Amino acid sequence: GRNFVLRAQVDQFLGGLAFGNRANSTESAWPVQSLPLLTLQLGAAWYWSWPEDQLRFYTAFDMGSRWMYPQFKIFVPEPVVPFTLEPLVGWDFRWADRHSLYFELGPTIEYAPDPELFLASLKHDASNVQIQLGGPFFLEFPLKAKVGYRWSF
């Protein structure tokens, strides 16, 4: 039959390239900006394809807890959006027993305990759109796409 699986995932972002206006001479010429952010996710998925299929389709729902450690000194919940929910559709391609590549796509629902702080934190020229669902919940577009490697127990 079909498979129901529990999932756990760790997403780590340690730094990225900063392509901003560098007119301020006090800024470093090094274009890497450190924004340490860790997301711990737990979720569940339902595989609609048979376990022996090489290309399998699934739907999933993940809950995430976001953590940061500014200047690598203290580990604290991310204050603006400490929790996320992600309904996803995905496909994985199994090339060997317990090894697969996956592609997932879905929106992110963000929990912002202080909606005004969340809206103030957004860049006005950003390509992302946040729709307030009510109270502290926001739906982020465009859809988030994930590509990765999965090893199963």
Which amino acid belongs to residue 51? Answer: P
Torsion of Cα atoms, 53 then 54 then 59 then 61, to 10°: 120
Q: In this predicted structure, what is the pLDDT of residue 51? A: 80
pTM (2 d.p.): 0.77
Tens of pLDDT, residue by residue over 52-96, are 899 999 999 999 999 988 766 788 999 999 999 999 999 999 988
For residues 59 and 42, the answer to whether their CB atoms sit within 8 Å is no
Is residue 114 over pLDDT 90?
A: yes
Percent of the chain whose pLDDT exceeds 70: 82
Number of neighbours of residue 64 by Cβ within 10 angstroms? 21
